[in-house]
Amino acid sequence: MRESEIIDLFLRHLKRQGDLPLGDDAGALRFGDKWLVATNDMLVRKTDVPDVMTPEQAGFKAVTMNVSDVAAMGAEPVGFLFSLGVPPGLDADYMEGIARGIGEALNFYGIPVLSADTNEADDLIIDGIALGVTERLLTRSGARPGDLVCVTGDLGRALAGLLVWKHDIEVSEKTKKALYDKFLEPRARVSEGVSLSKVASSAIDISDGLAKELHLIAKMSGVGIEIRPESIPIRDEVAEVAEILGLSPLEIALASGEEFELVFTVSPELVDAMDFKFSVMGQVMEGNGVYLASDEERRPLPRLGWEHLGDQKIYNR
Q: Which residues contact a second copy by CB under 8 A?
A: 1, 3, 5-7, 9-10, 12-19, 22, 26-29, 31-32, 36, 38-42, 44, 46-48, 78-79, 81-86, 90, 92, 95-96, 99-100, 102-103, 106-107, 110-123, 125, 127, 129, 131, 133, 316
Give the residue numbers of the binding site: 25, 39, 41, 48, 69, 117, 140, 205, 207-208, 258, 306
Distance of CA 285 to the CA centre of its chain: 24
For residue 170, the minimal CB distance to a second copy (Å) is 32
Residue (94 or 228) nearer to a second copy, CB: 94
Indicate the residue type of 182: K
For residue 148, the minimal CB distance to a second copy (Å) is 29
Residue (92 or 275) nearer to a second copy, CB: 92
For residue 86, the minimal CB distance to a second copy (Å) is 6
Q: What is the DSSP letter of 291?
A: E
Residues 6+ apart with CB under 8 A from 104: 56, 59, 60
Burial class (CB in 10 A: 0-12, 13-18, 19+), 151: buried
Residue (98 or 250) nearer to a second copy, CB: 98
- With contact defined as beta carbons under 8 Å apart, do 260 and 189 qualify? yes
Residue (14 or 297) nearer to a second copy, CB: 14
- With contact defined as beta carbons under 8 Å apart, do 156 and 233 qualify? no
Residue (125 or 242) nearer to a second copy, CB: 125
Number of neighbours of residue 14 by Cβ within 10 angstroms: 9
Residues 6+ apart with CB under 8 A from 207: 65, 68, 69, 213, 257, 258, 260, 317
For residue 262, the minimal CB distance to a second copy (Å) is 18
Distance of CA 262 to the CA centre of its chain: 7
Q: What is the Cα–Cα distance from 74 to 264, expressed in whole angstroms? A: 10
For residue 93, the minimal CB distance to a second copy (Å) is 10
